[in-house]
C-alpha cells in the first residue's frame, strides 16, 4: 500500500487522504477505490512524489454517493454523468427505476414459467416452445388469437360474433402467476387444435343464420344511439336468461326432477317464456311458446354446448385474471333434455303431483327394496358383465345406477343434492353398496320429513319424488331379473299401484330422444304388473 510514514505525513500534515486512510475511514476496500478512481468516478486530488494517490476532504462523501448508486445497480457511465453534472440524480434514478421495472418483470416471468413447468411436469422437449411463448409481447399474443379467429371464421359473415372473439385478448399481467402462465401455454396449444376451430365455426355459422336480414343504416345519430342501446339491452337480457336457465336447471337437479317428468314442464315453459324476448333482433323470431320456439332454443343450447369453446373462454379468463364464465355442466344437460322431452307445451295435470300418498309410497319402497335387494344379493361377480335390457348397460352399470338412485334421493332428503352421477358407486362389493344405499334412503325418507315436504321452484311433493325412485327401482329390478334369468314377478303387493304411479307421472310426457324411457310396447295378455310396467317404459316383456 505504500510507505506508512508517507501516508501519515499527508494525512496529518496537509489534510489530504491516502487511499489506505480513505479505505479505513469509509470501509470501502482499497481495490474498489482504486478501480473507481481509474473509472474517473473518484479522481485523486494530487499524488505524492512517489506517485501515490491523495484524496481531498470531499472524497469520503463522494465515495458514499458512488457506493450508493452502485448498490442500486446504476452503471459506471451513468454515475459519471451524475458526478460531472451532465444528468441529475433524479433523472438517473427515474431511468434506472424504469430499467429495474423491466428487469423485475422479466424475473417475475421467468419465475412463473419455472413454477408452471414444475407444476405441469413438463418434459425437456417442451421448454423451448414454452419459453418462447412466455416471452411474447402483448401484441404478439394478440396476433396469435387474431390469426386463429380469422382462420376459423374465414368466409363466415358473423361480424358480431367475430368482434366478440377479437375483443377478448390474452394480455398477461406484469407479474403473472404460474396458473396464468400455464393457462397461456394451454391456450396457445388449444388454438392450434382443429376441434376448437371447427366448434367456433359452427357457432359463427349459427350466429350468421340467426342474424336478421340487413337493413338500411340509421339516417340520424339519435337512431343509431338508440339501436346501440337496444342491442346492449338485448345482450343483458340474454345474460339474465342464461343465468335463469342455470339456476332453474340446478334447482331441478337438486329437487330430483327428471327432465321428462311432468314436474319439468313448468320449468321448460318458464325458461322459454323468458328467452323469447331476447330473440326480437334475430331472423324470424318466435312470438310465443310452441314447437318452433322450443326447437330453436334447443338448437341454441346444443350449438353452444361445445366443450372446446368453453375451455377456450375459461383459459382466456385465467390468463387475464377475469372471473371465468359459469359452466353449464349438469344444469345445461338437464335443460336440453327437458326441451327434448317436452317439444311442445301442454297443460300439466297437477294430479301427478298430488296423488302420491306418503304412507303408501313408503310401503311400496320397502316392498320393492325387499325383492330387488334379494335379486342383487344373488348376483355373482361373474354376472356383472352380463348385458341387460336397459339402454345397453351391463349388470354392473345397472346396479351402479340403482345405487345412485338411492343415494340421490337420500341427498335430496338431506338438502345436500349429489352431483357425482358419473362416479363409481359400487366399489368392490355390489351387495353391500346396494344394501347401504337402501338403508340410508329409508332412514332419510322417514327421518327428514321428505314424504311430507315439497321441493324445487314448482313445489314437487317429496312423496312423488320417492315414488319416482320406486318406479325406477322396480323397472330396473325387472331389467336385472331378465339379465340374470330370475323371475320378474317382483313386489306383487305394490306392483299394480307402482304401474299406476308410472302412468300418472310419465303418461303425458312425450317419449322423445330426451326421455328416460322408450315408447310404450304391448304387453302379453295376462302379463304381471312388473311385466306391464316394463312394457309401459319401453321394454319388451315377451
**Category of 53 on φ-ψ map: left (φ > 0), alpha (ψ -120 to 50) or beta:** beta
Q: What is the DSSP string of 372-406?
A: HHHHHHH--GGGGG-B-SSTT-BHHHHHHHHHHHH
How many CB atoms lie under 10 A from the CB of residue 288? 10
Beta-strand pair 454-455/46-47:
unpaired
pLDDT in tens, 496-537: 999 998 888 777 666 665 456 778 889 988 899 999 999 998
**Residue 32: CB partners within 8 Å, gap ≥ 6?**
none
More confident residue, 173 or 493: 493
**Residue 76: CB partners within 8 Å, gap ≥ 6?**
39, 41
pLDDT in tens, 436-477: 999 999 999 998 889 998 877 667 788 888 998 999 999 999
Sole residue written with cell 300418498? 357
Mean pLDDT of the chain: 81
Q: What angle do CA 259, 265, 267 make, to 5 degrees?
A: 85
Residue 8 vs residues 30, 73, 177, 192: alpha-carbon distances, Å: 16, 35, 59, 77
User: Is the Cβ–Cβ distance between 342 and 268 less than 8 Å?
Assistant: yes
Residues of the chain with pLDDT > 90, as a percent, come to 23
Distance from CA of residue 191 to its chain's centroid? 18
Query: Is 50 exceeded by the pLDDT of residue 222?
Result: no
Query: What stretch of H or E contains 118?
Result: helix 89-120
DSSP 518: P
Question: Could you give the CA distance from residue 242 to residue 251 in angstroms, rounded to a whole number?
Answer: 14
Query: According to the model, what pLDDT value does residue 5 have?
Result: 39
pLDDT in tens, 177-191: 888 878 887 888 888
Q: At what angle do helices 358-378 and 462-484 cross, to 10 degrees?
A: 20
Query: According to the model, what pLDDT value does residue 437 have?
Result: 96
Query: According to the model, what pLDDT value does residue 219 have?
Result: 42
pLDDT in tens, 269-305: 999 999 998 888 777 888 899 999 999 998 888 877 7
DSSP 46: E
User: Is the Cβ–Cβ distance between 460 and 257 less than 8 Å?
Assistant: yes
Amino acid at each position: 500500500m505504500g510507505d506508512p510514514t508517507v501516508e501519515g505525513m499527508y494525512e496529518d500534515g496537509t489534510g489530504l487522504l491516502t487511499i489506505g486512510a480513505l479505505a479505513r475511514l469509509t470501509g470501502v476496500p482499497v481495490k474498489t477505490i482504486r478501480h473507481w478512481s481509474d473509472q474517473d468516478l473518484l479522481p485523486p486530488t494530487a499524488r505524492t512524489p512517489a506517485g501515490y494517490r491523495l484524496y481531498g476532504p470531499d472524497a469520503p462523501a463522494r465515495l458514499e454517493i458512488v457506493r450508493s448508486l452502485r448498490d442500486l445497480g446504476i452503471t459506471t457511465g451513468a454515475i459519471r454523468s451524475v458526478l460531472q453534472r451532465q444528468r441529475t440524480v433524479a433523472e438517473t434514478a427515474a431511468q434506472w427505476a424504469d430499467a429495474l421495472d423491466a428487469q423485475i418483470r422479466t424475473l417475475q416471468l421467468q419465475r412463473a414459467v419455472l413454477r408452471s413447468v414444475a407444476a405441469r411436469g413438463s418434459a425437456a422437449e417442451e421448454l423451448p416452445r414454452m419459453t418462447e411463448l412466455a416471452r411474447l409481447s402483448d401484441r404478439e399474443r394478440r396476433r396469435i388469437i387474431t390469426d386463429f379467429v380469422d382462420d376459423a371464421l374465414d368466409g363466415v359473415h358473423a361480424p358480431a360474433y367475430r368482434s366478440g372473439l377479437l375483443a377478448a385478448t390474452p394480455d398477461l399481467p406484469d407479474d403473472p402467476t404460474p396458473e396464468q402462465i400455464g393457462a397461456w401455454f394451454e391456450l396457445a396449444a388449444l388454438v392450434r387444435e382443429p376441434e376448437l376451430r371447427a366448434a367456433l365455426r359452427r357457432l359463427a355459422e349459427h350466429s350468421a343464420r340467426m342474424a336478421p336480414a340487413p337493413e338500411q343504416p340509421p339516417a340520424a345519430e339519435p337512431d343509431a344511439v338508440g339501436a346501440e342501446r337496444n342491442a346492449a339491452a338485448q345482450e343483458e337480457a340474454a345474460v339474465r336468461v342464461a343465468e335463469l336457465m342455470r339456476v332453474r336447471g340446478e334447482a331441478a337437479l337438486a329437487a330430483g326432477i327428471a327432465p321428462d317428468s311432468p314436474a319439468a314442464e313448468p320449468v321448460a315453459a318458464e325458461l322459454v317464456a323468458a328467452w323469447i324476448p331476447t330473440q326480437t333482433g334475430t331472423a324470424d323470431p318466435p312470438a310465443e311458446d310452441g314447437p318452433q320456439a322450443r326447437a330453436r332454443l334447443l338448437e341454441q343450447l346444443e350449438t353452444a354446448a361445445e366443450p372446446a369453446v368453453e375451455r377456450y373462454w375459461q383459459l382466456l379468463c385465467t390468463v387475464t385474471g377475469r372471473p371465468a364464465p359459469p359452466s353449464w355442466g349438469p344444469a345445461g344437460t338437464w335443460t336440453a333434455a327437458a326441451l327434448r322431452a317436452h317439444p311442445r307445451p301442454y297443460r300439466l295435470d297437477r294430479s301427478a303431483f298430488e296423488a302420491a300418498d306418503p304412507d303408501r309410497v313408503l310401503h311400496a319402497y320397502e316392498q320393492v327394496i325387499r325383492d330387488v335387494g334379494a335379486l342383487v344379493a344373488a348376483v355373482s361377480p361373474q354376472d356383472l358383465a352380463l348385458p341387460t335390457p336397459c339402454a345397453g348397460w351391463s349388470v354392473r352399470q345397472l346396479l351402479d345406477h340403482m345405487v345412485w338412485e338411492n343415494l340421490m334421493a337420500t341427498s335430496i332428503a338431506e338438502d345436500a343434492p349429489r352431483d357425482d352421477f358419473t362416479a363409481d358407486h359400487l366399489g368392490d362389493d355390489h351387495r353391500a353398496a346396494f344394501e347401504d344405499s337402501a338403508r340410508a334412503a329409508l332412514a332419510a325418507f322417514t327421518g327428514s320429513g321428505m314424504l311430507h315436504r315439497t321441493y324445487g321452484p314448482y313445489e314437487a311433493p317429496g312423496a312423488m319424488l320417492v315414488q319416482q325412485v320406486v318406479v325406477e327401482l322396480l323397472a330396473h329390478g325387472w331389467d336385472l331379473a331378465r339379465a340374470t334369468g330370475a323371475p320378474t314377478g317382483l313386489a306383487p303387493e305394490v306392483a299394480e299401484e307402482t304401474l299406476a304411479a308410472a302412468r300418472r307421472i310419465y303418461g303425458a310426457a312425450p317419449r322423445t330422444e330426451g326421455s328416460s324411457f322408450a315408447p310404450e310396447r304391448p304387453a302379453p295378455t295376462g302379463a304381471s304388473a312388473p311385466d306391464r310396467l316394463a312394457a309401459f317404459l319401453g321394454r319388451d316383456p315377451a
